[in-house]
Structure formats: C-alpha cells, structure tokens
Amino acid sequence: MPKVNLSVDGKKIQADKGAFLLDVCRDNHIPVPSLCHNEALGSDGRCRLCVVEVRRGNRTRMVTSCLFPAAEGVEAITQSANIALVRKTVLELLWARCPESDEIARLARSHGVSDVRYQKDNDKGKCILCNLCIRTCESVVGVSALGLSGKGPVKKVTTPFDEPSETCIGCGACAFVCPTGHIQMWDKEGVRNIWGRKFEMAACAKCGTHFAPLYQLEYISKTSGASMDRLRTCPDCR
Ligand code: SF4
Ligand code: FES
C-alpha cells in the first residue's frame, strides 16, 4: 500500500494512501468523536460529529473525517472554535431528536451542550438514523432483515411492513452495533425477544447456558456447513 505524509494537529504522520482521516487519527491516538462509524463497517457519513478542518495549500475547509481520504500534504486540525461550534450544533440537534438517549446526552454534555434550544421530538426513540444496524444486518450477517421506511420526519429503521421479519435470525448484531441503544432486545427464560419476534435460545450441550438463538445456529450451519453438534456447544466450552 503506498504511503502518504500528512499532519494532524501539527503531528507528522505517515498513513496508507486513501485511509480515512478518522481511522488515521484513531490509529495515532488522536481523539475525534463519532456516532455512525464502526471499525468493521466504516461509515457513510450520517452523524457529522467527526468533522475536522483540513488545509491543503491556501485552502481550509471542514470535512467529515470518516469519509476524507488521507493524501500527501494534508494538514488536519481536530480542535478549533469552528469545529467545536459544529459539533455542539450537531449534538444539540441529535439530542432534540432523541431526548431519551443517555449516550447522546452524555456526548452533548461533554461538548458543552447543557440544554436543547430546539423543539424535542417524542416519537423517534433513540434512533439517529445512522444506518449501522441496516449495514451490519446486510453486509456482516447477510440477511437484510432491516431497512429504512418513510421519508423526512417519519423516516425510521424497521422490518419490512413493520411486521416481525421472516428473515431475521435473532442474532442481535443490530442491537450490538447501535450507538444509542435504540434497538430493544432481551433474553428471558430461554427466549430472545427482538423486532417483535421471539427466538428459542439453544442451551449449550456442555454447560447448559442459553447462549444463542437456535434459529441463528441453524442459519450458520446451513450457510457455513458447520455441524449443529459443534454449534450447539457455547464458545466458552468449545
Ligand atoms: S437503530 Fe441504532 S444503529 Fe440503527 S439507525 Fe438507529 S441509531 Fe443507528
Ligand atoms: S462518524 Fe463521520 S459522519 Fe458519523
């Protein structure tokens, strides 16, 4: 991979050409806040929290670092009055959209937002429409049980026709990646509840712990060829 030389906050850095600036910052222990970025999935630039300033030649502009490719001679700044103002505004808007979200409240307060001046939504739950759950379900799990429905203010993440999804395997990966805790999932008495469906949990053949939905194990067995005998033993006992 060809390398490029750039600087972040005055620190000289060598990075892979085309690596995204947010990843370059994190690899070099330079903190940049984000909500819609995931190490495995990258980002599609939805939250706008990761803004930084970039100078090339005489030109300085504000960019979303999760989508800005590292290039020779780039000078990036991760903290400035302008950046702080944009991040505060983004967080204030997200907090107004999701007043129930503890994570957004925590981030907002840590960026100096003590209250929300905008009208608060009371129908969005904790969802910021970051798309991580949809992308995880599609590209990592491979089942595409989730999607976006509606437009404008009624746009939301849901299952097809808002019905319990036939294709969902109950793996919970969507709930795991969700940065705001919007997706409700709970396991009780050997049953997992998620997206309006109930999944019987498999008990480990050795220790008896309920560790994964049986349906998920059957899906893995079918797609990977692994035997159900092996899959029915929990990772700790394998
Ligand atoms: S449910 Fe969570 S992961 Fe999915 S779009 Fe909303 S905030 Fe993002
Ligand atoms: S992390 Fe860059 S826009 Fe969300």
Tell me, using a 6 A CB cutoff, whether residue 128 lines ligand 1. yes
CA distance 119 to 182: 20
Tell me: the pLDDT tens digits for 159-180? Answer: 999 999 999 999 999 999 999 9
Tell me, using a 6 A CB cutoff, whether residue 50 lines ligand 2. yes
- Dihedral over Cα of 169, 171, 172, 173: its sign: negative
Structure tokens at 59: 């030109």
Q: Give 67 Cα–ligand 2 centroid separation in angstroms.
A: 8
Ligand 1 atom with the smallest distance to the CA of 132 is 3
Q: Are strands 75-77 and 3-8 parallel, antiparallel or unpaired?
A: parallel
With pLDDT > 90 as the criterion, what percentage of the chain qualifies? 94
For the cut 90, the answer to whether the pLDDT of residue 39 exceeds it is no
pTM recorded for the entire structure:
0.92
Report the pLDDT value the prediction gives residue 56, as an integer from 0 to 100.
81
Give the domains, in start order, of the chain with CATH numbers: 3-79 (3.10.20.740), 132-237 (no CATH)
pLDDT band at 58 (very low <50, low <70, confident <90, very high): confident
Report the pLDDT value the prediction gives residue 108, as an integer from 0 to 100.
97
Tell me, using a 6 A CB cutoff, whether residue 36 lines ligand 2. yes
Q: Give 42 Cα–ligand 1 centroid separation in angstroms.
A: 15
Tell me: the pLDDT tens digits for 190-235? Answer: 999 999 999 999 999 999 999 999 999 999 999 999 999 999 999 9
Tell me, using a 6 A CB cutoff, whether residue 101 lines ligand 1. no
**Rounded average pLDDT over 45-68:** 94
